Amino acid sequence: MSQLDDLYRRVIMDHYKTPRNRGELEDGSVTVNLNNPTCGDRISLQLQLEDGIVRNVKFTGEGCSISMSSASMMTEAVMGKTGEEALALADKFSALMKGEDVQFDDYEDVEALSGVNKFPARIKCATLAWNALRKGVEQGSGKHEGIEE
């Protein structure tokens, strides 16, 4: 089962079994609900953006080990980053899913998901949380500007 070991590395199972930043945020945050209609995985992501910076991020949802561990890793990777940096990380993650050799210097856990690109049917599981992040940052920055005006 070496192919499997490759996919389900210890770090992935760790994030799956003890997810980071799982829960809900208080008011004043952006909420994004996304699901994979073909398989039923769903995520509710909450972002607190202040001065363009991701001050806090939490998620709830249900799904397979890949989608939930990816969500957990994503929250740790983007915490404290600017919206732009978060979006850049999302792009990097897309590249990782295409099998490109990219590094996540600040947060190497994410690289554990590189094995997913060998299982094309599972890529959408891994990208769910990152797609939610993209939406959240875009919504959040729009909202932020709105308040400023």
Interface with another protein (CB under 8 A), residue from 9, 11, 39, 102: 39
In three state form, how does the secondary structure of 81-132 look?
CEHHHHHHHHHHHHHHHCCCCCCCCCCHHHHHHHHHHHCHHHHHHHHHHHHH
**Residues 6 or more apart whose Cβ sits within 8 Å of residue 113:** 12, 66, 69, 70, 73, 96, 97, 126
> Is there binding between residue 82 and another protein (CB under 8 A)?
no
> Is there binding between residue 42 and another protein (CB under 8 A)?
yes
For another protein, the closer of residues 30 and 116 by Cβ is: 116
Buried b / exposed e over 88-97, threshold 16 CB at 10 Å, is: ebbebbbebb
Least separation in angstroms between residue 54's CB and another protein is 28
> Is there binding between residue 139 and another protein (CB under 8 A)?
no
> Is there binding between residue 41 and another protein (CB under 8 A)?
yes
For another protein, the closer of residues 47 and 123 by Cβ is: 123
Which residues in this chain contact another protein in the complex, by CB under 8 A?
A: 1, 3-4, 7-8, 13, 16-17, 38-42, 62-67, 119, 121-122, 125
